[in-house]
Amino acid sequence: MINRIRDVRRAKRLTLADVAAKCAPSTTAQTIGRLETGTRTLSLDWLNRIADALDVDSNELVQGGKAENIPVAARLTHKGAQALSSTEHAYVPKPGEQMVALNVQSGVGDYRAHDTIWLRQLTPENYVSALNRDVLVPRPAGRFLFGRLIGREGEKLHILPLGAGTRQQVVSDPAWIGMAETLIRSL
């Protein structure tokens, strides 16, 4: 089976040891390396374990037909643009059922007009993973609140809207929230 484990792992800037430690139960970096290269059979169980460790859907790790990767030309460091020592590709995430998008119409906080933010939908039991991250929170009557999740007490979320001089908002546990995961910005 051709897989994209290496592409996804590198795009998330994780080492083989990082992924091995995040697997439940944990495994060795050598095992992850063998599964990436195909020298060890990638079973459905391994696929799901690695997908959970990488925080992606398992179908994003299976390469079907033409790969949807963009070649990386160089790496930008504090010393400027540097040539790569080996071929690399940027991982292009495939939005799934758990993804929603937010189009930015006018700049606020770190976001500029015409940005698109991809958000991963989370259910209440996973809200803790969004602490100190920007989130989209659905409100009654088709309204939304966007800001930084700064706390959770019982069934209440504490959101700090973006921008200077804003006040904290408290929202009773909504059915879902969208955690900002990817920023798409045209230059």
How would you classify residue 149: left for phi > 0, otherwise alpha for psi between -120 and 50, otherwise beta? beta
CB atoms within 10 A of CB 94: 11
Name the residue among 120, 116, 129, 133 with its Cα closest to residue 56: 120
Residues 132 and 79 in one domain: no
Residues 81 and 108 in one domain: no
Residues 110 and 161 in one domain: yes
| Total number of domains constituting the chain | 2
Residues 86 and 42 in one domain: yes
Residues 168 and 115 in one domain: yes
Helix 29-37 vs helix 44-54: angle between axes, to the nearest 10 degrees? Answer: 110
Domain of 22? 5-91
pLDDT tens per residue across all 187 residues of the chain: 568 898 888 878 899 999 999 999 999 999 999 998 888 888 889 999 999 999 888 888 876 544 456 777 777 777 777 777 877 766 666 655 578 888 888 888 889 888 888 888 999 999 999 999 999 999 888 889 999 999 999 889 999 998 888 899 999 989 999 999 888 887 7
Residues 18 and 64 in one domain: yes
Q: Which of 50, 69, 91 is the last residue of a domain?
A: 91
Total-model pTM: 0.58
